[in-house]
Structure 1
Amino acid sequence: MNTIVIGGGQAGLAATRTLLDAGLTPVLLEATDQTTGSWRHYYDSLTLFSPARYSSLPGLPFGGDGDRYPHRDEVVDYLARYARDLGRGGAEIRTGARVTAVEADTHRGARGGGFAVHLADGSTLNAPTVIAASGSCNRPHLPLLPGRNGFTGQILHAAAYTNPLPYAGRRIVVVGAGNSAVQIACELAETTTVTLATRTPIRFVDQRPLGKDLHFWFTITGFDRLPARLVTTPPTVPVLDEGTYRQALRDGRLDRRQMFTRLDEGDVVWADGSREPVDVVLLATGYQPNLDYLNELGALDETGHPRHDRGLSTTHPGLGFLGLEWQRTPASNTLRGVGRDARHLTRKLTAHLNTHRSRAGV
């Protein structure tokens, strides 16, 4: 074993594949009992924003009609199949292996000498390189809302939303201006009254300009491969739309208002000072990195985000990150883009291993 991969979602699986292809011997550690990442927990109607032909990890095509937008359950099945193929290819995959802490391996020196990875069952694994691929989609970001503690309605994150059935007839405010916020709000609007609360107007992008999916144009223009530093990061990701969502706003089936200023018992207080009783505030406000096991190592900044340069730790040689938003390119945290980042990281860690072996006289 020369590399430990932490996290069995799309990033960890892609990392394991590229490490095997490079002749390395990775061990993949997944805290849950399935190597499908967060996908099986997303809402029932979720479909990919990219067609199947652009949504594969290294070494295994998605399959089927390349122009379709795969459903959530198809993605779960694909990732499970990917993990099985990795196992048949010689990868060691351990489920139910929750990492509690990563430390510098003091037996090999405090810097550059490797890592001790501690598991919840009390065991410890040692390796000269580690990839933290536990994802950025399993720790909901819950913004501070004035009056939240006294709110008598329900507050939940989109991570807890599955389908509209439990919310029929209830007054709902969805907070967010991204794809998930708009999709969930439109779905809820079929059975109840919904308002999208956003700080800025929703930005829409045509999903099929000139009859081709946007990802076709991303591919042929090279946009998906542009270094993140050359692309202005938008405050919110534009909503991909063939016209359905814009029409819902125009028709009044979906309401959009400026973000409310506070919650007051059972009411929201809108920016114009008006107030309205609300049953549910649903936060489609994204996620934060799930990297607490690196706290003691000193590899994170004060906000819990990794200190890195395009996926390589800037504090600990031999430590890499994968699956972060805008890690190297606009597509880094997607099925279509994480494989490129995995190959880049594998090359860098292989070079580190070779240097490490040379210094050790191996």
Structure 2
Amino acid sequence: MTQQVDVVVGGGQAGLAAGFHLRRAGVDFVVLDAQHRPGGAWRHMWDSLHLFSPAAYSSLPGRPMPVQPGRPYPEAAHVVDYLAEYEQRYGIPVQRPVRVRAVRREDGFLRVEGDTGTWRARAVISATGTWWRPFVPAVPGQDLFTGRQLHTVDYRTPKEFAGPGIHPAAAWGNVIVVGGGNSGAQIAADLAGVDGVELTWVTRRPPRYLPDDIDGRALFDAATARRRALEAGRPDTGGVASLGDIVAVPPVRAARDAGRLVHRAMFDRLTAHGVAWADGTTAAADAVIWCTGFRPALAHLAPLGLRGARGHIATDGTRAIAEPRLHLLGYGDWTGPASATLIGVGRPAREAVRQMSDLLR
């Protein structure tokens, strides 16, 4: 049976922000979430992860995040509880688990096909994020390496890497972390100094730390200033990238200041038992953790034929230029300044719903 109702695909922070504004606009809608429980990607983060910002600056529209006692920067589990409470508080109609397979054009509507049914929508907001599509670069020797290869999405705790190593010659767990962004720095800091773990941190360029007093609110302000400058035809301010790549959250700052975060240049290839550089130097490895980013999870939109360079869909704000009934929310700055963050997703969600309401009228 096909149901006629507007659809939000994804029940994480972006989907809930959209749901909040759709409720206020009086739109009949449903949120389809592939997860079994609330919390989105936050439910799958590593154990030690903390937000970049205090709770007061990490809130979705309408409901401030409560302070976590004893934690100036809340833990991921606190965010999960907040999102679950937010969903219930505003009565956001989330159906789960529903995996959306495809969105197609059909008789002037968008047909949303899921594994539990179909929906006929006048408009669709795609809010599936990037966590579900991890990116690992192609590096020579990956098929030869006999240790573990993981991505950020697979990492949980340093305890699982503590020695003895996987290979007979290893006296401890040799772990190589690849990536000079926030995930790479935080996971490297998590592993650094742990008994039984020998860490090698490799980056394509020297790590660029943001000033220690920078947090998520300042990053949001920088991203917003960049978007406004570009929209007004002024020179590009560079946004967050102009400040650096790594937010020096307390664990990263402590490991850096203690001299435990020492980076090496990116290796050239993997070997059976480690990695090798062009100058002939090598490092043993029982595990390689690829903290190398993500791509937007947009496979469900493939039937619309909208994707262009780098897998992005051309947008004006959140609205897909070639399909005005579709909005994309929470994928990064190309769908709104800091829209992949808790504090940043509210404004583009409000604008997306306003444009949807105008179109439907």
- Alpha-carbon shift at residue 272 of structure 1 (Å): 2.9
The match for 2:166 is: none
Whole-Å separation in 2 of the counterparts to 1:251 and 1:20: 49
- Alpha-carbon shift at residue 118 of structure 1 (Å): 0.7
Q: Secondary structure at the match of 2:311?
A: coil
The match for 2:318 is: 311
The match for 1:98 is: 99
- Alpha-carbon shift at residue 32 of structure 1 (Å): 1.8
Q: Is the 8 A contact 2:186 2:251 kept in 1?
A: no
Q: Deviations over 1:108-131 (max 9, x none)?
A: xxxxx220111113x211011000
- Alpha-carbon shift at residue 301 of structure 1 (Å): 2.3
Distance 1:340 1:44, change over 3 A: same
Q: Deviations over 1:125-178 (max 9, x none)?
A: 101100000112221111111110111111110110000011013111100011
Q: Secondary structure at the match of 1:16?
A: helix
- Alpha-carbon shift at residue 24 of structure 1 (Å): 1.2
Whole-Å separation in 1 of the counterparts to 2:27 and 2:254: 52
Q: TM-score, structure 1 length as denominator?
A: 0.87
Whole-Å separation in 1 of the counterparts to 2:243 and 2:19: 31
The match for 1:124 is: 118
Q: TM-score, structure 2 length as denominator?
A: 0.87
Q: Deviations over 1:24-56 (max 9, x none)?
A: 122110112123111010000100001111111
Letter aligned with residue 74 of structure 2: P
Letter aligned with residue 141 of structure 2: G
Whole-Å separation in 1 of the counterparts to 2:253 and 2:68: 27
Q: Is the 8 A contact 2:52 2:215 kept in 1?
A: no
- Alpha-carbon shift at residue 286 of structure 1 (Å): 1.3
Q: Deviations over 1:273-311 (max 9, x none)?
A: 211221111011111111111111112226432222221
Letter aligned with residue 61 of structure 2: P
- Alpha-carbon shift at residue 248 of structure 1 (Å): 3.5
The match for 2:222 is: 223
Q: Secondary structure at the match of 1:306?
A: coil
Distance 1:5 1:331, change over 3 A: same
Whole-Å separation in 2 of the counterparts to 1:70 and 1:117: 36
The match for 2:29 is: 26
- Alpha-carbon shift at residue 352 of structure 1 (Å): 1.2
Please point out which of 339, 342, 345 is paired with 1:335. Answer: 342
The match for 1:14 is: 17
Distance 1:251 1:20, change over 3 A: closer
Q: Which runs of no fewer than 5 residues in structure 1 stay unpaired? A: 108-112, 355-362
1:178 matches 2:181? yes
Q: Secondary structure at the match of 2:90?
A: helix
Select between 36-45 and 66-75 the one with higher mean Cα deviation: 66-75
Q: Secondary structure at the match of 2:347?
A: helix
- Alpha-carbon shift at residue 236 of structure 1 (Å): 10
- Alpha-carbon shift at residue 216 of structure 1 (Å): 5.3
- Alpha-carbon shift at residue 65 of structure 1 (Å): 6.3
RMSD after superposition? 2.3
Q: Is the 8 A contact 1:178 1:237 kept in 2?
A: no
Letter aligned with residue 195 of structure 1: T
Q: Deviations over 1:62-86 (max 9, x none)?
A: 0236982111100000000111113
Q: Deviations over 1:238-285 (max 9, x none)?
A: 212267645634654233100000012112012432112211110111
1:76 matches 2:76? no
Q: Is the 8 A contact 2:101 2:300 kept in 1?
A: yes
Whole-Å separation in 2 of the counterparts to 1:261 and 1:194: 18
Q: Secondary structure at the match of 1:152?
A: coil
Distance 1:329 1:273, change over 3 A: farther
Q: Is the 8 A contact 1:289 1:304 kept in 2?
A: yes
Q: Percent sequence identity over matched residues?
A: 39
The match for 2:294 is: 287
Letter aligned with residue 81 of structure 2: D
Select between 267-276 and 176-185 the one with higher mean Cα deviation: 267-276
How many residue pairs get matched?
Answer: 338
Q: Is the 8 A contact 1:259 1:271 kept in 2?
A: no
Q: Which runs of no fewer than 5 residues in structure 2 stay unpaired? A: 164-172, 231-235
Select between 307-316 and 162-171 the one with higher mean Cα deviation: 307-316
Select between 255-264 and 58-67 the one with higher mean Cα deviation: 58-67
Whole-Å separation in 1 of the counterparts to 2:313 and 2:307: 4
Q: Secondary structure at the match of 1:327?
A: helix
